[in-house]
Amino acid sequence: MFEQMQNWYDKRHAYAKEWKKNHPGGKVLGCFCTYVPEELVYAAGVLPVRLLGSHEPQSVTEPHIFGMYCPFCRDVLAQGLQKRYDYLDGITISQSCLHIRQAYTSWQMHVPTGFSYYLPMPNCVQSPHALSYLKGEFLAFKNALEKWTGNEITDEKLRQATELVNTNRRLMRQVYDLRKQDNPPMTGLEAMYMVVSSQMTDKNDHSKLLEKILKELPGRKMDRQTGARLMIIGSEDDDTAFIKMVESVGATLVVDDHCTGTRQFWNETELKGDVLTSIAKRYIDRPACPSKDWPERRRLPHILKLAKDFNAKGAIIIQQKFCDPHELDIPAIIKDLKKNGIPSLFLEFDVTVPIGPFRTRVEAFLEMIGQDDLF
């Protein structure tokens, strides 16, 4: 049922090239972070694709990024340096963590494209002034997109694009809602393929498939046991090999807090009054990346609510090695979950993870939260 989505993810480059063939004159914009306002990009008639790594060892980034930065940013840059995204017409980043920013700036210098844009997304999204500031920056970004593409971005186009992106978000939430069931009709791996593929395909194609899936999904019978219901929390994660392993040893991932998951699509843009302000508000209010979760810790109640709504019995907390923003949140998250009766397992990710040793930890964690009948 989700094979097409896996296929899109596995063959992302073929998809984008095909898209360009079918959209003469259409441009593809590589996005380094999920804070890039997709509404604006679609309104300009451009396809935004999220740049992700390929989980392969490589040696091309060593001269460009000092080894103390996260494996993800290096893996992403490696894709650029190895010319795997040679079809991109432009790149953009919305200000978030320092690590991924280096992938962007090095890409900008060494893999030239016709367009590059640094969008200074506020870090203090909790400030009452972040909204008007971001609206102003969205206006500047809109102007830059217009200049680059030659396409005027009217309010009407922004509304249509918002509807397009919102529909996709809404449909993915409907799919997620089904995971609340005692026996979810899908795996966490499938959910991951769904969300990451939405980040690299045309929302028209993706939503069409989602509608079809949503018709069949409620009656789907799984030929596997649900086992322990787990939540997964942490930094960028499209490590499908890891997810697959977890779900092969007696667990199902029922919800996540990842930017390759809920953080990216959870809330919709509510069009009220000024269109750019409405869109800006959506990005201010979305579930925060830890680099933006201050001075209050708003992620904690949000994560806890997800855990309760989806009836998670335990949490796997993962972190890209050296990811400072997550390292600054994880101790507080572990403590908060524990206080609320949800045990967690912490794991540090690299470009590839050692499946064997991680399997031992995951199994031990599952034994810890279950198997009461053996004592």
**Residues at the interface with another protein (CB under 8 A):** 62-66, 68-69, 95, 97-99, 101-102, 105-106, 108-109, 118, 120, 122-124, 127-130, 132-133, 136-137, 140, 290-291, 294-295, 297, 321-322, 324-325, 327-332, 334, 343, 354, 356-357, 360-361, 363-364, 367-368, 371-375
To the nearest whole angstrom, how small is the minimum distance from the Cβ of residue 151 to another protein? Answer: 24
Q: Which is nearer to another protein, 42 or 138 (CB)?
A: 138
- Distance of closest approach, residue 111 Cβ to another protein, in angstroms: 13
- CB closer to another protein, 45 vs 120: 120
Q: If you write DSSP's letter for every residue of 256-313 in order, what string do you get? A: EE-TTTHHHHSS-----SSHHHHHHHHHHHSPPPGGG--SS--HHHHHHHHHHHTT-S
Nearest residue (CB) to another protein, 166 versus 235: 235
188-198 vs 3-10: helix axis angle to the nearest 10? 50
Residue closer to another protein (CB basis): 237 or 348:
348
Q: How far is the CB of 50 from another protein (least distance, A)?
A: 20
For tokens 């995971």, name the residue: 179
At residue 162, φ and ψ (nearest 5 deg) are -60, -40
As measured in angstroms, the least distance from the Cβ of 295 to another protein is 5
Phi first, then psi, for residue 198 (nearest 5°) are -65, -20
Nearest by Cα to 32 from 76, 64, 62, 71: 76
What is the closest distance, in whole angstroms, from the C-beta atom of residue 253 to another protein in the complex?
A: 20
Which two structure tokens, joined as six digits, stand for 13? 């480059």
Whether omega before 295 lies within 30 degrees of 0, making that bond cis, reads yes
Min dist CB 114 to another protein, Å, is 18
Angle (nearest 5°) at CA 72 between 315 and 162: 80
Cβ distance to another protein smaller for residue 88 or 130: 130
Closest distance to another protein from the beta carbon of 323 (Å): 9
Residue closer to another protein, measured from CB, 213 or 330:
330
Give the residue among 52, 90, 49 at the shortest CA–CA distance from 199. 49
Q: Which is nearer to another protein, 163 or 363 (CB)?
A: 363
Q: How far is the CB of 332 from another protein (least distance, A)?
A: 7
What is the end-to-end Cα distance of the chain in Å, rounded? 40
Residues 6+ apart with CB under 8 A from 275: 155, 158, 159, 162
3-state secondary structure of 152: coil
Nearer to another protein by C-beta: 200 or 230?
A: 230
- Let me know: does 241 contact 362? Beta carbons within 8 Å: no
